[in-house]
Structure 1
């Protein structure tokens, strides 16, 4: 049984909006935390309430075991989200978060009969596509270089040895879970899927993005943004993404701006 304590542990509500017309559950990337989605919560409040997932092994959950398996993580999150399932929220995940969101959606559809209202998959290839990646076996120096290359963390933070030593085990554990994941066949989702990709993201090719259509009986749309893997940290893209979500979740909302 899910308790208030479980919810407090797993879900961050930066701008509570009990009367919101829609809700959006946001899943962070590898090494990321719920706070990554503060900007979106701020933009969408109060019409859309953001529920940001906090994975174990980071920040105030640092003492907990790291993520071991994507499917086990999704099962835990699905249990926590059940209280909101009378009116299913939409899901948004970036990178690893898109994969966790998808697997969470599959479990909720299986146990409740309904999946999320919509799925926004950012910076992640379709679950059924496979690459031979082994970053979880890289040296600490190689992992830091990868973080710098992706551009998701201010370089100044990576100059702090104590911070790096604290972050790397969690990041390595996340990579291990993602790189060992293999998609299990099953019924497709019914929700519309919107795939958000950076034009210079080495993590997602055009074909890998379009392959999300294999995983839903609903519509699939691929939208491109200038930039790399962390394109959504750019303010102009955040404005467009906020408008895009509003247009999809709120009837009568203004359409999202054209491609940036």
Structure 2
């Protein structure tokens, strides 16, 4: 199974950046990143089961189990330093993969968490139990989809099962106590994101013994689409700083 998409392999890159999509998203969300990222960074976009080229693979609705499977699949790609980026639900999974890698004695150089409150701040949710129309309303509210597109019954049939599953992953997640991360964390969010405030974003700092920075950019929950150049530049700088600070 192809867990990772890499549209532009860079065999001499100093770092592999694994990018985790949002709820209902797929690896194609990061297609432009392969082209625009700094040459020293190779992008590997995570493809969750049950969508796109992995549509036949069974959906997985438990974050801890999914993170372990992703970590298992990463094994052949750990021949160089690894950084993780995740947006929204993807930030949660990137965090759990970072924990899993550290537990296996293979840490990451940097964790980038985008558009999500810290994992240990539990917020109850029941979006995954709502009707299809209510689920579409939620997607439109966050700015991730076009309402007219989601009026198409075939599009709904193709997309909503994965979306509902991913909301279940996020909303039923419970943080497990344990050691904090050893890597630096950078949190990014949109100034008008209805899902997370700068104060909530700062709580990611409680999950690492290294430094944690918060960067707020103009935009809503999907600020990183129109601000892609700024996000990629920020990631490239942060990865470069990690290289400089490594003994």
Q: TM-score, normalised by structure 2?
A: 0.94
Q: Which runs of 5+ in 1 are unaligned?
A: 1-5, 254-260
Is 1:244 aligned with 2:234?
Answer: yes
Is 1:25–1:51's contact at 8 Å kept on the other side of the alignment?
A: yes
User: Displacement of 1:18 after TM fit?
Assistant: 0.7
Is 2:110–2:242's contact at 8 Å kept on the other side of the alignment?
A: no
Aligned equivalents of 2:51 and 2:148: distance in 1? Answer: 20
Three-state SS of the structure 1 residue aligned to 2:103 is helix
Is 2:38–2:236's contact at 8 Å kept on the other side of the alignment?
A: no
Is 1:163 aligned with 2:151?
Answer: no
- 82-91 or 204-213, larger mean C-alpha shift: 82-91
2:25 equivalent among 32, 45, 49: 32
Aligned equivalents of 1:35 and 1:195: distance in 2? Answer: 22
Is 1:28–1:36's contact at 8 Å kept on the other side of the alignment?
A: yes
Is 1:55 aligned with 2:57?
Answer: no
Aligned equivalents of 2:54 and 2:77: distance in 1? Answer: 23
Three-state SS of the structure 1 residue aligned to 2:201 is helix
Moved over 4 A (4+): none
Is 1:46 aligned with 2:39?
Answer: yes
2:115 equivalent among 123, 132, 150: 123
User: Displacement of 1:242 after TM fit?
Assistant: 1.2
Task: Report the counterpart of residue 108 of structure 1 in structure 2.
Answer: 101
Is 2:109–2:242's contact at 8 Å kept on the other side of the alignment?
A: no
Task: Report the counterpart of residue 91 of structure 2 in structure 1.
Answer: 98
User: Displacement of 1:158 after TM fit?
Assistant: 1.6
Aligned equivalents of 1:252 and 1:202: distance in 2? Answer: 31
Task: Report the counterpart of residue 6 of structure 2 in structure 1.
Answer: 13
Aligned equivalents of 1:182 and 1:43: distance in 2? Answer: 35
- 155-164 or 240-249, larger mean C-alpha shift: 155-164
Cα offsets for 1:84-135 (capped at 9, x unmatched): 3242310000000000000011111101x23211000000110000111110
Q: Is the alpha carbon distance of 1:29 and 1:166 closer, same or farther for their aligned partners in structure 2, counting shifts above 3 Å? A: same
- 99-108 or 61-70, larger mean C-alpha shift: 61-70
Q: Which runs of 5+ in 2 are unaligned?
A: none
Task: Report the counterpart of residue 76 of structure 2 in structure 1.
Answer: 83
